[in-house]
Structure 1
Amino acid sequence: MLTVDVSLSNTFIGHQNPIFAVSHGLDASTIFTGGNDKGVVEWDMREGKFKRILCAVPASVYVLHLLEEEGVLIIGLRNGEVWFVDIARQELIHKTQTEKGAVFDLRVLPDKREIIATGEEGVAYVWSLDNYALLYKFPIADTTVRVIEPYPNTNQIAFGDKNGVVHLYDTADFRAITNQQVHSLPVTALAVTDTSLLTGGRDAKLVRLAQHDLSIIEAITPHMFTVYAILPHPSLPIIATVSRDKSIKIWNALSLALLKNISIERGYDAHRLSINTATWVGDQLVTAGDDKLVKIWDVSVQDS
């Protein structure tokens, strides 16, 4: 039986507005955060303090994605721009833009050297990472597509839209494979495990889907409100979820049994408003949200 211990390692204070995006840095000691402050902040996890403002941006930051080998941070903005910033030089090396609406999510397809982004108008944009040229543009839905999740080691990618539908595409030619009505409200989180695709929604549901045809395997209600992130641990058999209900929960990755509930009500110095984003950095879970705080949690697992 798995048991989980969680303790708060640090709280970073400095953002003046809600935080929407977090990314790990170039090493295990740094992270980046962004939100309504119109700037991307770098934090030193080892020293437990603010490091620098990486760059100022003209609109709210909705998504951050690290290109580790290139030393570049990709930033998706509310105004539809996608920025490529050299971390060491603190220099904007390129920017591109969607035709309409905010960039809610973006992902990298490393085998193809491509970046794919989606936004409010339900269209996907694919750019080359070599010369930033727009390679493809195709409609996914007639509404906002908020989240993207590529399947590792296969040529498939999932999208989640505002109507609660999950769409599966082939990344070789970006043809539609299938779609499934999964949630009654918008899809707000996607995550791939070894065996399935997990989806979270504004309907507070967490659903496990078969990867190949999106058939529903099981569904639970993990939170009281929107599930904003689903985070399989990089090596341990656990999954973290965060929510608008201000709680963090740790689950058994195989059974989806609840292992730990981290919230103020459970005695933790946890978030006081919606948790909008999170990421694993090794065995530490980084969470951030509407209370303008970044919290670093030490997580350990024992198999008894």
Structure 2
Amino acid sequence: MITLLQTLNGHQNPVYTLEMDIPKQLLYSAGNDKGVVEWDLQTLAFKRVLCAVPSSVYALHQIPGTSYLAVGMRSGDLFVVDTHSQTLKAKLKIESGSIFCIRSLVGKQELVVIGESGKAYVYRLTDFQLLYTFQISDTTIRSIAVYADESALAFGDKNGVIYLISAVDYQLIAKAKIHDMSITSLCFVGKSLYSGGRDAKMYKLDYPSLEVALEITPHLFTVYSILPLHKNGFISTVSRDKTIKIWNSDLKLQKNISRDKGIASHFLSINSQAYHPELGLLATAGDDKAIHIWQISLT
């Protein structure tokens, strides 16, 4: 059962990224508005503009176990904002290009940032000092996924290549050309890696071999996000084709959420999604500037 609970309005431009603060039951959104917005998931209402930013925001990442939100921008700026005190904890900048994805390794206390140049930047979480950089690809990387035990990371580049990198020493474990076009989403679920791309394809890959287990065409256009729902293998995908789709672990379609199905969903590209497992709430947002909050009950 999937029900639209609320539509959150207020953004004046497309929304590119969403992030949950699960313990605090908050949602953060950002895009082309040059500001990060905080929403209350209890009241399903606007709470505040968390901070202003100098350019469009492509990536948000709530650092687990902290009150810090990392904000990655088109300009290459990286802000770390303390959401409790609403202060800027760190103001950083990568060497060139935009920041497309941010992830953290809690065990190592490291923050991994990636962008247009295909280079990874690793910062120490305790003081946000740059520890090292390393080149993964000679082209843009838009997505990162972290394996559950934080032993490895997967990166997907513009040429459709996935790189599996050891989180211990950042050395290459495996590499495979999977998509015909840019990889736009990656997600680990159990011992499988799911990848989505601009070629409208989604693959279920075995870990760590990166061998293809399943391949489908879930959407008409780019697959912008893949997200696990609950612990029973269900995943959600969103796309430029304006649809949200729910799949089981065998990639069998369970639900198609779209205006074509008579549901009051998005009418332009859906760029991002975020899920709160305890509340069973899925947030989606995109070019129509609206954020939809869905109640999800899956068995």
Same structural fold, with TM-score higher than 0.5 when normalized by the shorter chain: yes
Q: Does 1:271 align with 2:257?
A: no
Query: One-letter code of the match for 1:15?
Result: H
Matches within 5 A, 1:1-304: 5-25=1-21, 27=23, 29-253=25-249, 255-282=250-277, 283-302=280-299
Note if contact 1:6-1:300 (Cα within 8 Å) is conserved in structure 2: yes
Q: Which has the higher contact order (CA 8 A, sep 6+)?
A: 1
Partner of 1:58, secondary structure, is coil
Q: Residues of 2 paired with 1:116 and 1:154: CA distance?
A: 12
Note if contact 1:41-1:54 (Cα within 8 Å) is conserved in structure 2: yes
Note if contact 2:22-2:276 (Cα within 8 Å) is conserved in structure 1: no
Note if contact 2:139-2:158 (Cα within 8 Å) is conserved in structure 1: yes
Query: One-letter code of the match for 2:144?
Result: I
Q: Residues of 1 paired with 2:131 and 2:228: CA distance?
A: 31
What's the CA shift for 1:154? Answer: 4.4
Moved over 4 A (4+): none
Q: Residues of 2 paired with 1:156 and 1:27: CA distance?
A: 25
Note if contact 1:30-1:43 (Cα within 8 Å) is conserved in structure 2: yes
Note if contact 1:26-1:68 (Cα within 8 Å) is conserved in structure 2: no
Q: Residues of 2 paired with 1:176 and 1:221: CA distance?
A: 29
Q: Residues of 2 paired with 1:15 and 1:203: CA distance?
A: 29
Query: Cα distance 1:268–1:219, how it changes in 2: closer, same or farther (>3 A)?
Result: same
Query: Cα distance 1:51–1:77, how it changes in 2: closer, same or farther (>3 A)?
Result: same
What's the CA shift for 1:89? Answer: 1.1
Give the percent of matched residue pairs that are identical in Structure 1 and Structure 2: 45
What's the CA shift for 1:131? Answer: 1.8
Structure 1 residue runs without a partner (length 5+): none
Query: One-letter code of the match for 2:175?
Result: N
Query: Cα distance 1:183–1:14, how it changes in 2: closer, same or farther (>3 A)?
Result: same
The CA RMSD measured in Å over matched residues stands at 1.1
Partner of 1:301, secondary structure, is coil
Note if contact 1:234-1:280 (Cα within 8 Å) is conserved in structure 2: no
Aligned residues, how many? 297
Query: Cα distance 1:28–1:270, how it changes in 2: closer, same or farther (>3 A)?
Result: farther
What's the CA shift for 1:287? Answer: 0.3
